[in-house]
């Protein structure tokens, strides 16, 4: 038995932080993130972890709805199998959770961390850890606390920035119970 994903082709534009983020305001950014959080929770409830969340894996439909794509390195906990070809990359360093960067066990909280990085980038114009070589970015994901978003962008309320920091916690167990609960906290 094998588990396969078949997805409808979405021909719209990719999520681009320069276009869909900075300057659009927090409500608009949350309108983009919330359906992605719901899609992730739907997958998580079925034992599937995406493991490669990044703006390039989000496209917009003709009516402007964001769609999560590319479950190419997804992991199925319920079925005990990887949904990935052998030798495939395990994610994109800028969006990896600390546990993923360390090649530890990943789960729904790993996807939540990556979604929080995307949200951070949409608001700040850059991910919390950027520049340098992939290994140095991964090391920073593991060892450094991100800069508070309100310090980066003074228009962001401190309460919002602190709520986002929960989803960016280094320990998976310290993050929100689900992606949609993260959005609700924000």
Could you give the residue numbers annotated as active site?
52
Q: What does the chain come to in residues?
A: 186
Q: What is the sign, positive or negative, of the torsion defined by CA atoms of 132, 135, 139, 145?
A: positive
CA 72 to CA 82: how far, in whole Å? 10
CB 141 within 8 A of CB 93: yes
Structure tokens at 134: 């992939």
CA 114 to CA 46: how far, in whole Å? 19
């Amino acid at each position: 038995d094998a588990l396969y994903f078949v997805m409808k082709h979405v021909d719209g534009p990719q999520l681009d932080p320069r276009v869909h983020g900075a300057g659009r305001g927090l409500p608009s950014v949350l309108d983009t993130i919330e359906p992605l959080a719901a899609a992730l929770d739907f997958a998580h409830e079925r034992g599937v972890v995406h493991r490669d969340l990044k703006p390039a894996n989000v496209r917009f439909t003709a009516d402007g709805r964001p769609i999560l794509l590319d479950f190419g390195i997804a992991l199925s906990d319920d079925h005990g199998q990887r949904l990935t070809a052998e030798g495939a990359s395990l994610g994109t360093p800028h969006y990896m959770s600390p546990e993923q960067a360390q090649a530890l066990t990943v789960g729904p909280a790993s996807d939540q961390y990556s979604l929080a990085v995307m949200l951070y980038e949409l608001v700040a114009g850059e991910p919390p850890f950027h520049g340098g070589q992939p290994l140095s970015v991964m090391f920073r994901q593991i060892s450094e606390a991100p800069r508070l978003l309100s310090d980066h962008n003074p228009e962001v309320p401190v309460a919002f920035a602190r709520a986002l920091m929960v989803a960016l916690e280094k320990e998976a167990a310290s993050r929100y119970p689900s992606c949609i609960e993260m959005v609700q906290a924000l």
